[in-house]
Amino acid sequence: MKRSPEFSTITAAADGKPGPWTPLSWQGKPQAQAVAYPDPARLTDAVNRLRALPPLVTSWEVERLRALIAEAQNGRRFLLQGGDCAETFGDCRSDIVTAKLKILLQMSLVLIHGGGKPVIRVGRFAGQYAKPRSSATETRDGQELPSYFGDLVNRQEFSAAARAPDPDLLIDGYLHAAVTLNFVRSLAAGGFADLHHPEFWDLSSLHRADLPSDLRAEYLRMVKQLGEALRFMEALGERSVDDLTRVEFFASHEGLSLHYEAAQTRQVPRRVGHYDLTTHLPWVGERTRDLDGAHIEFFRGIRNPVGVKIGPKATPDEVLRLLERLNPSNEPGKLVLIARMGAAKVAPALPPLVEAVKREGRLVLWVSDPMHGNGRTLPSGIKTRDAEDIFREVETFFDVHKAAGTHAGGVHFELTGDDVTECIGAGLTEADLDRNYQSACDPRLNYRQALEMAFRMAHRMAGDQRTG
């Protein structure tokens, strides 16, 4: 790997070499967003039970995702990642999980059609139960209690008992993740969305009154075209059709609770290294990615591909040091950099990072998270995001990569397949927000907004293809 002299000097002087890694070496490092469990003996007991339970995913699935991400790094695939900001145990229901899979599938179809390449589908599901918070406590009517850190840690209700961190929730989280994954796998294996039969895709949601008729017509036209194209390619004996039509889902979540991640991290027969088998693609959040902190220490040691959120204040040096720490031998398929800058900040903030990564020959997949830099709180106190800002950030992300000659490798959305009213734009105004605001954390795109986003991206990708 090429390395600029300034960077080598900084690395050697400031960081030195990290010590030996074990699944528990993170415990010697400062831990951002650490949870203060009141009873350490109960925590140890829960972690030991979790360690004994079978893995949720397998090493060969993790390796397959790495191989797919490696291809995406070369521009041969596009990654679509999406789901709730915070999954809740209460939402572990067939209708909600099915709706989420459907919107991800439909978006992927639209993106395949627009971008002309296979899409890697990654859900923010089956484990997205732990949330970083800007404040450790929350005060209501003079009472101060721990903030809600997600169902893996404590409960939403505002009472001392509900907000006390409960280690048994680590086991409950594992079980809800297992049930969700079981359902996702069965649906995918059972022909839930065989692309050869697009008429089996549940199009009933497209007939909802709130979906504009032009969008519905475009979707139906595309499904028909795609079906014809597939039949034609198969008639020619085209082998890549299989690849294009395989309906695979991978799971992802923020690897925030290192107790949870480490308990399911193990070596497996006939493979080298440790796998975090709670999920295929864990990511490190913007608030926990300190170079010398516990999270980076943990994630540098596992075989899984790892995502890292990158905000607008990140410097090229900081990003390069993270890449060196997490992937010292520059292996393909290992790192996904998820830029979450904000619509106004992405144009100035992203290019220096993209250029530095390119200059150093670092292998990463650049993904845009156009959600987390675009939050705003209305005077009424409601948290929302504007679909126009979200799209503007994605559009700028594509512009930046086009100018740099690098690949805009994927997108990361907070979305749901339901008709929630959390983000404005694309059919909703501020006045609509209290109609069906459900999110346990950040506002998500609803079904129509998500599909519209996919169409807008697809048009952009198709345009880029035409103009080279």
Please work out, in degrees rounded to the nearest 5, the angle formed at the alpha carbon of residue 453 by the alpha carbons of 452 and 458. Answer: 95
Q: Is 121 near ligand PEP (CB under 6 A)?
A: no
Q: Is 85 near ligand PEP (CB under 6 A)?
A: yes
Report how many residues bind ligand PEP under the rule CB under 6 A.
9
Q: Is 345 near ligand PEP (CB under 6 A)?
A: no
Q: Is 227 near ligand PEP (CB under 6 A)?
A: no
Cα pseudo-dihedral 188, 190, 194, 199, rounded to 10? -120
| Binding partner selected for residue 293 from Co ion, ligand PEP, none, CB under the kind-specific 5 to 8 Å limit | none
Q: What DSSP designation does 4 have?
A: -
Of 29, 300, 309, 448, which lies in the binding site for ligand PEP, with binding defined by CB under 6 A? 309
* Residues 6+ positions from 177 with CB-CB distance below 8 Å: 56, 126, 127, 129, 251, 278, 279
Q: What H or E segment, with its residue span, contains residue 122?
A: strand 119-124
Residues 153-182 that bind ligand PEP (CB under 6 A): none
Q: Which is nearer to ligand PEP, 360 or 393 (CB)?
A: 393
Q: Which is nearer to Co ion, 85 or 152 (CB)?
A: 85
| Binding partner selected for residue 340 from Co ion, ligand PEP, none, CB under the kind-specific 5 to 8 Å limit | ligand PEP
Q: Is 85 near Co ion (CB under 5 A)?
A: yes
* Residues 6+ positions from 383 with CB-CB distance below 8 Å: 375, 376, 377, 442, 443
Task: Name the segment binding ligand PEP (CB under 6 A); options: 69-77, 177-185, 210-218, 282-290.
Answer: 282-290
Q: How many CB atoms lie within 10 A of CB 363?
A: 18
Task: Name the segment binding ligand PEP (CB under 6 A); options: 35-43, 178-186, 279-287, 321-329.
Answer: 279-287
Task: Output the residue with the shortest Cβ distance to ligand PEP.
Answer: 285
Q: Is 261 near Co ion (CB under 5 A)?
A: no
Residues 363-392 that bind ligand PEP (CB under 6 A): 372
Spatial separation of the C-alpha atoms in residues 279 and 174, rounded to whole Å: 10
Q: Which of 323, 422, 418, 338 is nearest to 376 (CA)?
A: 422
Residues 126-155 that bind ligand PEP (CB under 6 A): 132
Spatial separation of the C-alpha atoms in residues 104 and 99, rounded to whole Å: 9
The nearest distance, CB 416 to Co ion, in angstroms, is 12
Spatial separation of the C-alpha atoms in residues 467 and 220, rounded to whole Å: 26
| Binding partner selected for residue 285 from ligand PEP, Co ion, none, CB under the kind-specific 5 to 8 Å limit | ligand PEP
* Residues 172 and 151: beta-carbon distance below 8 Å: yes
Spatial separation of the C-alpha atoms in residues 250 and 254, rounded to whole Å: 14
Task: Name the segment binding ligand PEP (CB under 6 A); options: 96-104, 238-246, 285-293, 349-357.
Answer: 285-293
Ramachandran sector of residue 141 (left: φ over 0; alpha: ψ -120 to 50; beta: rest) = left
Alpha helices in 212-315 (DSSP H): 213-235, 240-245, 258-263, 294-299
Residues 428-447 that bind Co ion (CB under 5 A): 442
Q: Which is nearer to ligand PEP, 132 or 227 (CB)?
A: 132
Tell me which residues touch Co ion (CB under 5 A): 85, 442
Tell me which residues touch ligand PEP (CB under 6 A): 85, 132, 254, 285-287, 309, 340, 372
